Amino acid sequence: MVAISVMQRVSRRVAQIRRYVQTETQRTRKKLMKSLEEIFDLAASLARGEVKSLTEGGVKAKVMMKQRQIWARVAAYVAQIMNSIAEAIDEREIDEQLAELGRLVDEARVRASGKTEALGRA
């Protein structure tokens, strides 16, 4: 079984969502909400401390408080996107929000990678 880190799953979901936005509106809205809900659940579980460690590049590292705070920001931003989609769908605005979400996830990955690289060298 191939181990996929939570951050890779989130990054992959963000990429999938961006592709979905370019298709039919109603069908997209349903898929988008489902994918965003999955991202929200993963980010919220990291923020709440339900996930104790992450594996990145084959190295397991404990999730630190700063990382939990970053994932709380990701979860909050996902909730905002979901609210905006529930109210009205504006593809351009959603694409911009998803780009920002991608940036936040990348920031969390970089911080986690820094931690795992430091642990790998120790």
pLDDT on residue 119: 43
pLDDT on residue 75: 95
pLDDT on residue 69: 93
- List residues bridging with 119 in a β-sheet: none
pLDDT on residue 21: 67
Task: Say if CB 49 and CB 13 are below 8 A apart.
Answer: no
Pair of tokens at residue 7 = 């951050």
pLDDT on residue 58: 81
pLDDT on residue 70: 92
How far is 45 from 42, CA to CA, in rounded Å? 5
Extract the residue ranges of the chain whose pLDDT is less than 50.
1, 116, 118-122
Element (H, E) at 56: strand 53-56
3-state class (DSSP) for residue 75: helix
